[in-house]
Amino acid sequence: MTEDHGRAEGLERLDRSFQGAEAATPTAHRDPPPWVGVVANRGSGSGQARRAADRFCRALESHGLAARVAWTPEERSLLVRAGALDPACRCLTAIGGDGTFASLVNENPTVPLAILPTGTENLAARHFGSKCDPVALARRIATAEPIPIDLGLAQGRRFVLMAGFGFDGDVVTRHHRSRVSHAGRIRPTHRMAYVQPILESSFSYPFSTITVQVLDPGREQTLHGTTVFIFNLPRYALGLPFAPQARGDDGWLDLLVFREPGPFQAFYYLCKVFLGCHLGDPGVTHLRVKKVVVAADRSIPVQLDGDPAGFLEPTDPTGPNGREPAGWTIEVLPAAARVYSGDLKQASAPVALAVEAGNR
């Protein structure tokens, strides 16, 4: 069977599931049965998504909710379109890691979202208090209400967690390349798989200068550094508190610019992040922003939500029209999505840290 033939069969299977759900509805019952779209990624984390999807679908059925599952990008797009047109769609659920959730968010769904984490870090799921518990998530979808969250927009692509430019983007890009098989398939990963890309980046990344222009009215300024982060949520791999004060519901993004170059300086910054004292370092700038433009005079690797997002290519810093600078435009999209949140106490823990710090 060819890949195209398999993809066509998958779309036909998903379409038949839609038609079957409609046919099963008695003609006397005018309201269509409620259903939940499930977007699953076979390759996330250690590959447990299929088992989680089966358990989740059974748990949904126990609450009177039908399930429609998408395994491919084409099926995912069809599922998002169906959810936008059908008022019976209660939500769309991503089963996988942060990349699976980010891919679903970038389909611009209009219905609420949920996460059943089966990835490696599961940062978004941790923030929203969602554990790999299909029964609990199904109960939450059936009985609770979603909460609004902000999103970031980077050069037309949405992100939930953060955008990273420079050394961080280089590590993520190298790690992703190591996951891609000769056949083009993405293999499951684990935390130790990051060791080699970190070592390679430490010895070879050039730490080129990155320019950040803040465009917020009345707060315009220009910053220069070698590694740049823009956070929407206060989550990063291994629990590192880069932006502990970031919130996903305040209409702001948290900008961090690390100024000095070199692998030893990067290690020094990392130690201070681990200790939670980096925001007081004179080589680190932290600002709350709504819109910035990131530019560079050399090609810079970029990551969004822990996945490679291409490269920030050299640009004319004055911009094509001489008024707004060229480069990647990053801005906040307030309350752009709704998410079913689990343990609200866990989800709001970083917010408590921000209040305690008192330097918002």
Out of 177-181, 206-210, 258-262, pick the least confident: 177-181
Which residues are CB-neighbours of 244 under 8 A, at least 6 positions away? Answer: 234, 276, 350, 353, 354, 357
The per-residue pLDDT for range 26-62, each reduced to its tens digit, is 444 557 789 999 999 876 555 578 889 999 999 999 9
Beta bridge pairs of residue 71: none
- More confident site: 4 or 102: 102
The per-residue pLDDT for range 183-239, each reduced to its tens digit, is 656 655 555 656 677 777 788 899 999 999 999 999 999 999 999 999 999 999 878
Burial 304-333 (b: 16+ CB within 10 A, else e): bbbbbbbbbeebeeeeeeeeebbbbbbbbb
How many Cα neighbours within 13 Å face the side chain of 301? Answer: 20
> What pLDDT score does 23 carry?
44
> What pLDDT score does 28 carry?
47
Given a cut of 80, whether residue 172 has pLDDT beyond it is: yes
- More confident site: 344 or 291: 291
> What pLDDT score does 182 carry?
62
Burial (Cβ within 10 Å: 0-12, 13-18, ≥19) of residue 231? buried
CATH topology of domain 3-146: Rossmann fold (3.40.50)
> What pLDDT score does 300 carry?
96
The per-residue pLDDT for range 292-328, each reduced to its tens digit, is 999 999 999 999 998 999 999 997 555 555 555 689 9
Q: At what angle do helices 134-143 and 49-61 cross, to 10 degrees?
A: 40
> What pLDDT score does 185 carry?
62
Given a cut of 80, whether residue 354 has pLDDT beyond it is: no
CATH 3.40.50.10330-classified regions of the chain: 3-146
CATH 2.60.200.40-classified regions of the chain: 157-336
The per-residue pLDDT for range 106-156, each reduced to its tens digit, is 999 999 999 999 887 889 999 999 999 999 999 999 999 999 999 999 999
* CATH architecture of the region 157-336: Sandwich (2.60)
> What pLDDT score does 344 carry?
44
